Chain A
Amino acid sequence: MASLEDELRSALRRQAPSPDFAERVLARVAAAPVRRTPRVSQPWVRWVAAMAAALLLAAGSLEYRHYRGERAKDQVLLAVRIAGSKLNKAQKKVHMLAHRSNS
Chain B
Amino acid sequence: MPRRTSSPAAGLDFASLVRQHQAMVFSIAWHLLRDRAVAEELAQDVFLSLHQHLGELESPEHVQFWLRRVTSNRALDEARRRQRRPMVSLENAPEPVAVTPQGDPLLGTALKKLVAALPGKSRAIVILRYQEDLDPAEIARVLGIPVGTVKSQLQRALALLREKLSRVAGQASGLSHGKE
Contacts and interface: CB of A to CB of B under 8 A. Distances in A.
Mostly, the A contact residues are: helix
B3 A34 contact: yes
Interface residues of A, number: 33
B62 A4 contact: no
Given A21-B43, A26-B18, A67-B141, A4 B48 contact: no
A35 B1 CA distance: 6
B112 A25 contact: no
A60 to B, nearest CB: 8
Mostly, the B contact residues are: helix
B22 A16 contact: yes
Interface residues of B, number: 46
A60 B141 CA distance: 12
Contacts of A25: 18, 22, 44, 47-48
Interface of B: 1-3, 14-15, 18-19, 22-24, 26-27, 30-31, 39-40, 43-44, 47-48, 51-52, 56, 58, 62, 65-66, 107-109, 111-112, 115, 126-127, 129-131, 133, 137, 141, 144, 158, 161-162, 165
